[in-house]
Amino acid sequence: MNRISIELLAVDGGGTKTRAVLVEGDGTILGEGNAGASNYQVIGAEGSEEALIKAILAAFMNAGIETCSKVNVEKLYLL
């Protein structure tokens, strides 16, 4: 099994769009994904979850990482 180290999964979600970016430790962007609005006050919790998942999965696909791969999260920061 190939192991890929992703130092950062950044997600910017708002009232008009959602963007997810996977970044290596040296700052190299591995993949990016986009979706529609993810602000739960605008589209509700279910719509927000769908947009976040869509953007994150698109970033993994763009990076060439199978989305069925096991993911181990070592650190999680919410800002």
Residue range(s) defining the domain that contains residue 28: 8-62
**Two tokens at 57?**
């999965």
Q: How far is CA 12 from the centre of its chain?
A: 9
Q: What is the pTM of this model?
A: 0.81
With a cut of 70, list the residues of the chain below it in pLDDT. Answer: 1-4, 67-79
**Residue-level pLDDT at 24:** 87
Residue from 10, 12, 14, 59 nearest 37 by CA: 14
E strand or H helix at 23, and its extent?
Answer: strand 18-23
**CATH code, 39:** 3.30.420.40
Domain count along the chain: 1
**Residue-level pLDDT at 6:** 79
**Residue-level pLDDT at 66:** 78
**Residue-level pLDDT at 29:** 94
**Residue-level pLDDT at 36:** 97
With respect to residue 75, please indicate whether it lies within any of the assigned structural domains: no
With respect to residue 3, please indicate whether it lies within any of the assigned structural domains: no
Residue 33 and residue 19 in contact, taking contact as beta carbons nearer than 8 Å: yes
